[in-house]
Amino acid sequence: MEFVESIWQQDQDYMALIADLIENKDLLKLDDITHHHYTTRLTHSIFVSYVSYRIAKKMNLNVRAVARAGLLHDFFHEGREEIAAMELGSHNCVHPKIAVENAEKITPLNELERDIILKHMFLCSKVGMPRYKESMIVTCVDKYCAIYEVSQPLRAKTKTKVTDWVSRLRLVNA
């Protein structure tokens, strides 16, 4: 995440695409919610949005839709227990629908943006295949970011241990 955090705010083209959304107080509340154990739902959403945006830009796709829908793909405030209590289906099935509803309260969504948000969990739910390349990018980046976020503390711990071992080896061989 650090590599994205250090550049997304400096990217004026990207910031212009999400300027109205990133100031919305309901969206900013996602920063109070833990996501993937070690990050917040807002940080994860920006991570997905920005990495997807960069890929879409390289592929000459609809960067606006990718940046905005990527940012809104997990726009829900409920926890797993609350969603389970709704009895509307699995978490993977329900949270994209809630995200679409919440997104439509703060900005109009076009067909592409709706598809991106609604289908971002298509691999583990029954919503059907994404209809657009942009949707495929966001769902793939979402999975990449999730794995990166969940494994980050483990990678940090491993790095510390390796550094420690290397220092000890240096001392032994000195």
State the residues that interact with Fe ion by CB under 5 A. Answer: 74, 142
Residue number with CB closer to Fe ion (82 or 164): 82
Helix (H) / strand (E) element for 28: namely helix 25-28
Residue number with CB closer to Fe ion (134 or 142): 142
Separation CA 65–CA 114 (nearest Å): 9
Helix 133-173 to helix 111-118 angle (10° resolution) is 50
Q: Which two tokens stand for residue 56?
A: 């879409």
Q: CB 173 → Fe ion: shortest distance, Å?
A: 46
Q: CB 162 → Fe ion: shortest distance, Å?
A: 30
Q: CB 6 → Fe ion: shortest distance, Å?
A: 21
Q: CB 41 → Fe ion: shortest distance, Å?
A: 8
Separation CA 38–CA 150 (nearest Å): 7
Residue number with CB closer to Fe ion (46 or 112): 46
Separation CA 12–CA 169 (nearest Å): 46
Residue number with CB closer to Fe ion (74 or 115): 74
Backbone torsion region of residue 89, taken as left when φ is above 0, otherwise alpha when ψ lies between -120 and 50, otherwise beta:
left
Q: How far is CA 65 from CA 13, 68, 97, 152, in A?
A: 13, 5, 17, 28
Q: CB 36 → Fe ion: shortest distance, Å?
A: 8
Residue number with CB closer to Fe ion (17 or 46): 46
